[in-house]
Amino acid sequence: MQKLDENALTRMLSTYRDPVATKKDVMNALRIYHGLQHRVEEYVFNDGSTKMLLNLHGTIPVKYKGNTYNIPICIWLMDTHPKNAPICYVKPTSEMRIKVSAYVDFNGKIYLPYLHDWNPKNADLLDLIQIMSVTFGEVPPVYSKGPDTTYQQPSYMPPTPATSTSYNPPYPTQQFTPYPVAGPGYNSYGQPTPGAAVPGYGMPYGMAGYPPAPGSIAGPTPSVNQGTGTITEEHIRVSLISAVEDKLKRRVQEKVNQCQAEVQTLKRTQQELNEGQVKIKEIMARLERDEKELTKSITVLKDKEKELERALESLDNVDSIDVDEAVTTTAPLYKQLLNAYAEEAAIEDATYFMGEALRSGVIDLEVFLKQIRQLSRKQFMLRALMQKCRQKAGFSA
Model confidence over 131-162: pLDDT tens digits? Answer: 999 999 888 999 887 655 444 443 333 333 33
> If we measure between CA atoms, which residue out of 32, 36, 37, 28 comes closest to residue 8?
37
What percent of the chain has a predicted confidence (pLDDT) above 90? Answer: 44
Q: Determine the CATH number of domain 6-144.
A: 3.10.110.10
pLDDT at site 75: 95
When the pLDDT of each residue in the chain is averaged and rounded to a whole number, the result is: 78
Domain boundaries, the chain: 6-144, 326-393
The residues facing 303 across adjacent strands are none
Each residue's pLDDT tens digit, 200-235: 333 333 333 333 344 443 344 444 444 444 667 777
Band the pLDDT of 252: cuts 50, 70, 90.
very high
Calpha distance 23→185 (Å, rounded): 30
* Least confident stretch, 41-55, 87-101, 150-164: 150-164
Residues 6 or more apart whose CB falls under 8 angstroms from that of 343 comprise: 382
Calpha distance 224→227 (Å, rounded): 9
pLDDT at residue 180 is higher than 90: no
pLDDT at residue 377 is higher than 90: yes
CA dihedral 286, 289, 291, 293 (to 10 degrees): -140
Specify whether the CB–CB gap between 108 and 88 falls below 8 A: no
Calpha distance 112→206 (Å, rounded): 20
Question: Global pTM?
Answer: 0.40
Helices 233-317 and 125-138 pack at an angle, to 10 degrees, of 140
pLDDT at site 188: 40
- A 10 A CB-CB count for 232 gives 13
pLDDT at site 293: 95
pLDDT at site 295: 95
Sign (positive/negative) of CA torsion 139, 100, 69, 219? positive
* Least confident stretch, 298-302, 323-327, 334-338: 323-327
